[in-house]
């Protein structure tokens, strides 16, 4: 095993894990605060990727796509929460599953009608289309380094937002006990809209960042959705820190597994999930 190759795989794993964190932190926040399960969260990732594809096609560069994904995602998320998810909250699990499944189907249909059913690649921005020479025999893609940096920055913002602000304390309180929010004097409905907007923006940002790294294709959100669920189960529902460490763990295991033991890689993370359920059913990073 080449040391340089291993190093590259570890970096790839971290970068994949950080993308997973962007998706699953939104999922876990939305669940923790609103008690809503959103199976269409993977589709939001896909929409972000297609937005990047479309904007890169029009403007010739990815740079506009990132802020557009964040802003568009926030608006789209707020609109979804305001029109639909607000009404799903009191519904049974089965209804939430089916309603969000319906959203997946409708989003996919819209994607098929607006774009097409082909695979598309998105170009890496010219500015970052080079490799950084780390050591004499090892170079790493500058774009991937940028993705690492952006994700870490977003993660830091999330931590500060959740741990240090008043809204953040409401979010943590809501994850423990929904009624606590009212006691803190925060309008629960506004909090829900905010959380859903942030979760959607993060998922779409992840999609836009991932677009140049992998092709843009129909159903691309599905795989990310499932893995994000595994991350949330392992990290503990409603926990940002848990989602962070679990996402890194899953990113590393999956990437290194694909590289070195491809036969077992597909099932490795599920075995890990089973082990966590067996020994720490509330999540690996849950308190107590």
Partner 1 sequence: MRCATLRGNLLLAVAALVVACMPFYASPYHMQLASIAMIAAMFALSLQLLVGGAGMVSLAQAAFFGLGAYTVYLLGRTLGRPPSILVSLPASAAVAGIAAALIGPFALRTRGFFFLMTTLAFGQMLFFVFHDTPIGGGADGVFIQRPDLGFALTRASRTPVFLLTDLAVLAAMYAALWWLMHTLFGSVLLGIRANEDRMRAMGHNVTRVKLAAFVIAGALAGIAGHMAALNDAFVNPELLGWHRSAEALLIVLLGGIGALHGPILGAFAYTLIGEFGRSITERQRLVEGLVILAAVLLLRRGLAGLRFAR
**Interacting residues toward partner 1 by CB under 8 A:** 31, 35, 37, 39, 91, 93-95, 97-99, 101-103, 105-106, 108-109, 112-113, 226, 229-230, 232-233, 237, 263, 266-267, 270, 273-274, 277-278, 281
The sign of the torsion formed by the CA atoms of 149, 150, 153, 158 equals negative
Please identify, using beta-carbon distances, which residue of 130 and 260 lies nearer to partner 1.
260
Please identify, using beta-carbon distances, which residue of 154 and 225 lies nearer to partner 1.
225
Are 250 and 267 a contacting pair, CB within 8 Å?
no
Please identify, using beta-carbon distances, which residue of 72 and 238 lies nearer to partner 1.
238
- In whole angstroms, the minimum distance from the beta carbon of 87 to partner 1 comes to 9
- In whole angstroms, the minimum distance from the beta carbon of 260 to partner 1 comes to 16
- In whole angstroms, the minimum distance from the beta carbon of 203 to partner 1 comes to 16
> Could you tell me whether strands 138-141 and 131-135 are parallel, antiparallel, or unpaired per DSSP bridges?
antiparallel
Cα angle 267, 39, 225 (rounded to 5 degrees) comes to 35
d(C-alpha 221, C-alpha 38), whole Å: 13
- In whole angstroms, the minimum distance from the beta carbon of 266 to partner 1 comes to 4
Please identify, using beta-carbon distances, which residue of 70 and 273 lies nearer to partner 1.
273
Query: Strand, coil or helix: what is 131?
Result: strand
Q: Name, in order, each residue with C-beta under 8 angstroms of 286's C-beta and a sequence gap of 6 or more.
A: 236, 239, 242, 280
The residue whose two tokens read 């089916």 is 98
The tokens describing 4, both together, are 């340089």
- In whole angstroms, the minimum distance from the beta carbon of 131 to partner 1 comes to 30
Please identify, using beta-carbon distances, which residue of 99 and 186 lies nearer to partner 1.
99
Residue 14: count of CB within 10 angstroms of its CB? 19
If you write DSSP's letter for every residue of 270-284 in order, what string do you get?
Answer: HHHHHHHHHH-TT-T
The tokens describing 228, both together, are 């994000």
The residue whose two tokens read 């950080």 is 18
Are 28 and 240 a contacting pair, CB within 8 Å?
yes
- In whole angstroms, the minimum distance from the beta carbon of 127 to partner 1 comes to 36
Under DSSP, the state recorded for 125 is P
- Spatial CA neighbour of 86 closest among 203, 187, 192, 238: 192
Please identify, using beta-carbon distances, which residue of 125 and 238 lies nearer to partner 1.
238
- In whole angstroms, the minimum distance from the beta carbon of 118 to partner 1 comes to 17
Please identify, using beta-carbon distances, which residue of 91 and 133 lies nearer to partner 1.
91
Under DSSP, the state recorded for 132 is E
Please identify, using beta-carbon distances, which residue of 71 and 226 lies nearer to partner 1.
226
- In whole angstroms, the minimum distance from the beta carbon of 187 to partner 1 comes to 25
């Amino acid at each position: 095993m080449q040391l340089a190759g291993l190093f590259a795989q570890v970096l790839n794993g971290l970068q994949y894990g950080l993308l997973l964190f962007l998706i699953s932190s939104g999922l876990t926040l939305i669940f923790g605060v609103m008690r809503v399960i959103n199976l269409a969260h993977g589709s939001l990732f896909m929409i972000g990727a297609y937005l990047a594809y479309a904007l890169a096609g029009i403007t010739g560069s990815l740079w506009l796509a990132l802020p557009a994904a964040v802003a568009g995602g926030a608006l789209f998320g707020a609109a979804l929460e305001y029109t639909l998810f607000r009404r799903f909250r009191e519904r049974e699990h089965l209804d939430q599953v089916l309603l969000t499944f319906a959203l997946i189907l409708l989003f996919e249909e819209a994607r098929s009608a607006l774009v097409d059913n082909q695979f598309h690649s998105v170009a890496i921005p010219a500015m970052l289309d080079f490799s950084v020479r780390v050591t004499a025999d090892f170079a790493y893609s500058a774009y991937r380094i940028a993705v690492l940096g952006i994700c870490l920055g977003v993660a830091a913002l999330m931590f500060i937002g959740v741990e240090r602000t008043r809204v953040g304390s409401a979010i943590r309180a809501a994850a423990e006990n929904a009624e606590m929010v009212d006691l803190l004097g925060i309008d629960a409905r506004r909090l829900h809209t905010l959380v859903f907007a942030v979760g959607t923006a993060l998922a779409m940002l992840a999609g836009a960042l991932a677009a140049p790294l992998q092709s843009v294709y129909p159903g691309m959100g599905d795989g990310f959705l499932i893995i994000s669920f595994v991350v949330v189960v392992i990290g503990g529902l409603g926990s940002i820190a848990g989602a962070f460490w679990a996402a890194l763990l899953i990113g590393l295991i999956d990437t290194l597994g694909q590289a070195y033991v491809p036969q077992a890689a597909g099932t490795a993370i599920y075995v890990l999930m089973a082990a966590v359920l067996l020994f720490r059913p509330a999540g690996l990073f849950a308190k107590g």
